[in-house]
Amino acid sequence: MRIHLLCVGQRMPDWVATGYSEYAKRLPPECTLKLVEIESVRRTKTTVAAQAREDEGRRILKAIPKGAGVIALDVAGQCWSTETLALQLKHWLAAGQDCALLIGGADGLAADCLSRAEQRWSLSALTFPHPLVRVIVAEQLYRAWTLLQGHPYHRG
């Protein structure tokens, strides 16, 4: 199974790329994490946030692999504990299909992306910068994987 992490934004700071790749490389071949960077809309003084969000949303939807389950990262989604995420991961693995995790840009996810999602996952009620979210998600997926494997990484 592949987990496709569809993220708005390119050319991230080194710490983001390093953090993400550290956890992604720890995942085994049967649960690979693949980063797909979606070009963000160029912001100008006249850029309307809603229009930028919709444009980015169309790009995200085009990048979803055929047949993949879709999970949107959304502050209004369900908050999952590490144990709940591990159960979700177990379910995704058992389903035998790829998953696409959608991470919006600075203006969030478009309504069409939220509608397309089968699940909505909230990392927190806090607002995080979208580059940081890809690092958090990679770490949490690795943590969930280790929990399923009985590895001592998670000390819950």
Point out the annotated binding site for S-adenosyl-L-methionine. 73, 104, 123-128
Task: Cite the annotated binding site by residue number.
Answer: 73, 104, 123-128
Exposed e or buried b per residue across 86-113, where buried means at least 16 C-beta atoms within 10 angstroms of its C-beta: bebbeebbeeeebbbbbbbbbbbbbeeb
Contact 127, 75 (CB under 8 A): yes
Neighbours of 54 (CB within 10 A): 16
Helix (H, G, I), strand (E, B) or coil at 77: strand
In a 13 Å sphere around the CA of 29, the CA atoms on its Cβ side amount to: 0
Residue 21 contacts by C-beta under 8 Å, 6 or more apart in sequence? none
Contact 41, 56 (CB under 8 A): yes
